[in-house]
Amino acid sequence: MTEKPEQVAKAGLSARKGHWLIEGLQRMRKNRGAVVAGCAVLMFLFLAIVGPMLAPHDPVDTDPPNRFERPTLEHPFGRDHLGRCIFSRVLAGTRVSFFQGFIATGIALFFGGVLGIVAGYYGGVLDHLISRLVDVMMAFPGFLLAVTIVAALGPGIVNCMIAVGVSSIPRFVRLTRSDVLSFREQEFTEAARASGAKDFRIMFRHILPNVVGPLGVYSTLRLSTAILAAAGLSFLGLGAQPPTPEWGAMAAAGRGHLIRHPHMVLFPAAAIFLLVLAFNFLGDGLRDALDPRQSD
Partner 1 sequence: MSLLDDRRLALVCALIFAVGIIGMACAPEVEEEPDPTEPEEPEYDFDAGIVISRGEEAETLDIQNTTHASANTTWELLGDSLVIFDEEGNPSPLIAEDWDVSDDGLVYTFYIRDDVTFHSGKELTAHDVEASFERWLSVEGSPTRGDLGEVESLEATDDYTFEIRLEEPHNAIWNVLASPYGTILNVENIDEEGDDWGTARAELIDGTGPFMLADWRRDDQMVLERNEDYVWGPEALYENTGPANIKEITFRVIPEETTRAAEIRRGNIHIDTGVPSAEIPSIKEAEHLVTIMNRPPSLSFLGINCEAAPLDDVKIRKALAHAINREEIVEVVRDGMGDPPYSFLRPGTPGYCPHDPLCFEDEIIRYDVDQAIELLEEAGWTEVDDDGIRMKDGERLESTLSISDTETAVVQGELVQSYAREIGMDIELNTMELAALFEHLRAADHEMFTMGVGYGRRGPDTLYWYHHPGQRPAPNRFYLEHDEMTELLELSRVTPDEEERQEAFCRIEQILLEEVPWIYLTYRDYLAAHDEKLENPQLEHAMYTFPKLLEVKVLSE
Partner 2 sequence: MLMASYIVRRLLQMVPVLILVSVFVFFILHIAPGNPALMIAGPDASIEVIEEIEAELGLDLPLYEQYLRWAGNVVRGDLGRSLRTRIPVTEELLEYMPNTLALAFVSITISSILGIIIGVISAVRQNTPLDTGIVFVAVSGISAPSFVRALLLMWVFAITFEWFPISGRPAGPLFSLPVLHAMALPALALAIGGMASLARLSRSSFLEVLRQDYVRTARAKGLSERVVQYKHALKNAMLPVITILGFRLGAMFGGSVIVETVFAWPGVGRRIIGAIGTRDFPVIQGAVLMLATVYVLVNLLTDISYAYVDPRIRYD
- Based on the shown chain and the rule CB under 8 A, indicate whether residue 39 belongs to the binding site for partner 2: no
Q: By C-beta, is 42 or 151 nearer to partner 2?
A: 151
CB–CB of 171/112 below 8 Å? Answer: yes
Cα 71 from Cα 263, distance rounded (Å) = 8
Site string for partner 2, 207-246 (x = CB under 8 A): -----------------x---x--xx--xx----------
DSSP secondary structure letter of residue 79: B
Cα 104 from Cα 222, distance rounded (Å) = 9
- Based on the shown chain and the rule CB under 8 A, indicate whether residue 152 belongs to the binding site for partner 2: yes
228 binds, among partner 1, partner 2, none (CB under 5 to 8 A by kind): partner 2
Cα 206 from Cα 120, distance rounded (Å) = 14
Backbone φ/ψ region at 154: left (φ over 0), alpha (ψ -120 to 50), beta: left
CB of residue 88 vs partner 1: minimum separation in angstroms?
Answer: 15
- Based on the shown chain and the rule CB under 8 A, indicate whether residue 147 belongs to the binding site for partner 2: yes
CB of residue 228 vs partner 1: minimum separation in angstroms?
Answer: 16
Question: What part of residues 243-262 is at the interface with partner 2 (CB under 8 A)?
Answer: 248, 251-252, 255, 258
CB of residue 282 vs partner 1: minimum separation in angstroms?
Answer: 15
Per-residue burial over 171-203, b = 16 or more CB atoms within 10 Å of its CB, e = otherwise: bbbbbbbbbbbbbbeeeebeebeeeeeeeeebb
CB of residue 73 vs partner 2: minimum separation in angstroms?
Answer: 27
Query: How far is the CA of 152 from the CAs of 42, 149, 155, in angstroms?
Result: 35, 5, 9
Residue 50 CA to chain centroid, in angstroms? 20
Residue selected from 68, 99, 122, 143 as contacting partner 2 according to rule CB under 8 A: 143
Binding site for partner 2 (CB under 8 A): 1-4, 7, 33, 132-133, 135-136, 138-145, 147-149, 151-154, 224, 228, 231-232, 235-236, 248, 251-252, 255, 258, 265, 269, 272-274, 276-277, 280-281, 284, 293-294
